Amino acid sequence: EVQLVQSGAGVKKPGESLRISCKASGYTFTGYWIGWVRQMPGKGLEWMGIIFPRDSDTRYSPSFQGQVTISADKSITTAYLQWSSLKASDTAMYYCVRLETAAFPRLIVPFDYWGQGTLVTVSS
Amino acid sequence: DIQLTQSPSFLSASAGDRVTITCRASQGISNYLAWYRQQPGKAPKLLIYAASTLLSGVPSRFSGSGSGTDFTLTISSLQPEDFATYYCQQLNSSPYTFGQGTTLEIK
């Protein structure tokens, strides 16, 4: 059974750093892209970026390029989303997603599995 | 970026009703479109990709159609678990944008 299990909720202050994680199991981690989707409070979904764990090829939405870092550790089948300096506007739920099939620039079968979400709250 | 506009933004219906949600793209995307359902407090779930292909395990009351710029999601007979928010997503080019969502409420 495919599972994406995310790290727990966190409260941080503006300017602090943070890394949240997504532990994947039940499939070949190095064979699929894995990525992140943001959902701000009461708002819609925003695709942030994806990484291919086999070679760490990473693709970002222009809106998030330079704002976050996506990485993966294939030895422990875990993906990460990292901020070096949080802002209040980073307050959101973040979902880890698996990309089933892609033929770039197009996605064929998109995000078929989702993590449970990690709520990040940034407040002074 | 490709913009997706869903209509309506809110919809009231009763269990057993047939409903249709529309998603319009700002430029042609062939059939590179997906639909998701997000129940309150839960992660979204993929329903349909390639505009009309149901993901394995998705009930047949869901159907999708369209190509180019205009797409629809139809639920033939609403079940209690279908009262949720629905999002379309274009898969044609990065960034892979979502529509603003359509919230389906119980009448």
Give pLDDT tens digits for A22-42: 999 999 999 999 999 999 999
Q: Tally Cβ neighbours within 10 Å of residue A71.
A: 15
Query: For position B78, what pLDDT does the model report?
Result: 97
Give pLDDT tens digits for A40-94: 999 999 999 999 999 999 999 999 999 999 999 999 999 999 999 999 999 999 9
Q: Search chain B and give the residue with CA nearest A111.
A: B46
Query: For position A45, what pLDDT does the model report?
Result: 98
Decide if B58 contacts B107 (C-beta within 8 A): no
In this prediction, residues B37-54 reach a mean pLDDT of 98
Q: Residue A64: which of A88, A41, A47 has the closest Cα?
A: A47
Query: For position B79, what pLDDT does the model report?
Result: 97
Shortest distance, CA A60 to any CA of chain B (angstroms): 8
Query: How many CB pairs (< 8 A) connect A and B?
Result: 63
Shortest distance, CA B57 to any CA of chain A (angstroms): 12
